[in-house]
Amino acid sequence: MQSLAVARAVTRDGVLTDVRISFEDGRIAAIEPGAGDGAAPLWAVPGFVDTHCHGAVGVSFGDPDPAANRRARDFHLAHGTTTLFASTVTRSLEDLERESAALRALFDEGVVDGIHLEGPFLAEAKKGAHAAELLVDPTPEAVERLLAAGGPALKMITMAPERAHAMEAIRRFREAGVVVAFGHTDADADTCRASIDAGATAATHLFNAMNGIHHRVPGPVPTLLHDERVLAELICDGVHLHPDVIRLAHEAAGPDRIALVTDAMSATGSADGAYKLGGLDVIVRDGVARLTTADGSPGAIAGSTLTMDEAFRFVVSEVGIPIPEVARMAATTPARYHGLTEVGEIAVGKRADLCLVDDDGRLQSVVRGGVHIPPARSA
């Protein structure tokens, strides 16, 4: 049996001090007080759960090479992501079927924990870094093809509910056990509420790629923040959202309805330069990914180069939210909403997935399934 001793642990039963966490056969076997002088001056928090991640180190998830997908997965693991949904972008249905098959094999091996399809059922007006010519309506045939391709690995899909057949598609995906997320949409508040009633229980990168708040035309954001059925993703990299907006979302929805995600694309962990996102050209400057434009002007934000450890640190140190609440947003809440019962908490019987962070929220150590992973600390 292995163990680690820390000054504080964010557990199912609250914050415990001077605690020893023991694990055996990949699971937490005991959580005991009295760590003594050997306790590291760190916090133990649940391993991070990222349900929106497109890749890293030059690799986009869904690459036909399994080893390439593993390299991207290992990069994020070293940054604290112990549970990961591999996300795709808008492609043709044929390409999405091929990518889903590649990712389904990795899901069966336990390399990734699910597939998240971001597209192709998105709104052209809010397409962001998605190819407009490949956006389609969620017809029954298209829905069934994607369900068949993903099988049990398909955990989440982002949709614009104003598209033709969308409400029927939302109900069908929910019937199949797939979480439907409201996103990349031009929908108003009424359509947003209708989609939630139909079964859309998540919001893809809240505030981004949707209509903003106006005092006479509120749009979807107030509904998404206040409806208790909805999980709201936030990309906390200092680029997608201002710290004041993150605080607003936290105060409105609380840590039990917010999930930190990276939306990381293939350039994550690599140098600035030219990359691809789906079939689109992307330029990364100073770590910010944007679509390439003909005249060289800044294009739409194209995902991020964020890692979960940096998101955690940013929310703790730059936004000012306490570590126990950020731990819920980075692990417990997304695990609960997505039915991931083995992870997301430090509790006896759960998988031994842990991140050790300092008082500033900086990652110091990673454990997945009881195995210590060399961390790659953010700058």
Residues 247-261: tens digit of each pLDDT: 999 999 999 999 999
Q: Verify that 3 and 126 share a domain, yes or no.
A: no
State residue 289's pLDDT score: 87
Same structural domain for residues 330 and 350?
no
Question: Binding residue per annotation — 76?
Answer: no
> In this structure, what DSSP letter does residue 304 have?
B
Q: What is the band of 95 on the pLDDT scale with cuts at 50, 70, 90?
A: very high
Query: Does one domain contain both 296 and 362?
Result: no
Residue 9 inside a domain? The answer is yes
Give the lowest-confidence range in 33-47, 197-211, 224-238: 33-47
How is the chain split among helix, strand and coil, in percent rounded to 5?
Answer: 30, 30, 40
Give the count of beta carbons closer than 10 Å to the beta carbon of residue 360. 9
- Who's near 94: CB < 8 A, 6+ residues apart? none
Burial track 297-313 (b if 16+ CB lie within 10 A, e otherwise): eebbbbbbbbbbbbbbb
Domain that holds residue 192: 48-342
> How many CB atoms within 10 Å of residue 358?
15
Q: Write down the pLDDT at residue 378.
A: 47
- Residue 155 sits in the same domain as residue 14: no
pLDDT digits over 100-131, tens only? 999 999 999 999 999 999 999 999 999 988 99
Q: What is the pLDDT of residues 139-187, one digit of tens each?
A: 999 999 999 999 999 999 999 999 999 999 999 999 999 999 999 999 9
Q: Give the list of residues 6+ apart from residue 295 with CB closer than 8 angstroms, or none.
A: none
In the chain, % of residues over pLDDT 90: 87
Concatenated DSSP letters of 317-339:
III---HHHHHIIIIIHHHHHTT
In this prediction, residue 1 carries a pLDDT of 87
Is 208 annotated to bind a ligand? Reply is yes
β-bridge mates for residue 203, sequence order: 182, 232
What's the average model confidence in pLDDT over 203-218?
Answer: 97
Residues 5 and 113 in one domain: no
List Cβ neighbours of 366 (8 Å cut-off, separation of 6 or more): 47, 77, 78, 79, 80, 82, 354, 355, 356, 372, 373, 374, 375
Residue 237 predicted with pLDDT over 90: yes
pLDDT score, position 301: 84
Least confident of 248-257, 274-283, 335-344, 366-375: 274-283
Q: Which residue has the higher pLDDT, 311 or 274?
A: 311
338 annotated to a ligand binding site: no
263 is catalytic: yes
For helices 166-175 and 140-150, what crossing angle results, to 10°?
30
- What pLDDT is stored for residue 379 in this prediction? 41
CATH number at residue 364: 2.30.40.10
Is 86 marked as a binding-site residue?
A: no
Q: Do 214 and 337 fall within a single domain?
A: yes
| Edge-to-edge strand list for the sheet holding 354-357 | 27-33, 14-24, 2-11, 40-46, 354-357, 363-368, 371-373
pLDDT of residue 291: 87
- pLDDT top residue among 329 and 267: 329
Same domain for 183 and 304? Answer: yes
Q: What is the mean pLDDT of the chain?
A: 95
Catalytic residue among 63, 237, 263, 353: 263
Residue 379 lies in a domain: no
Any known ligand binding at 250?
A: no
**How confident is the model at residue 283, as a pLDDT?**
86
pLDDT, mean of residues 42-51: 99
User: What pLDDT was estimated at residue 304?
Assistant: 87
- Where is pLDDT greater, at 51 or 13? 51
The pLDDT of residue 184: 98
- What is residue 374's predicted lDDT score, i.e. its pLDDT? 85
**For the chain, how many structural domains are there in total?**
2
pLDDT at res. 44? 98
Model pLDDT, residue 377: 55
pLDDT for the residue numbered 182: 98
56 and 186 share one domain = yes
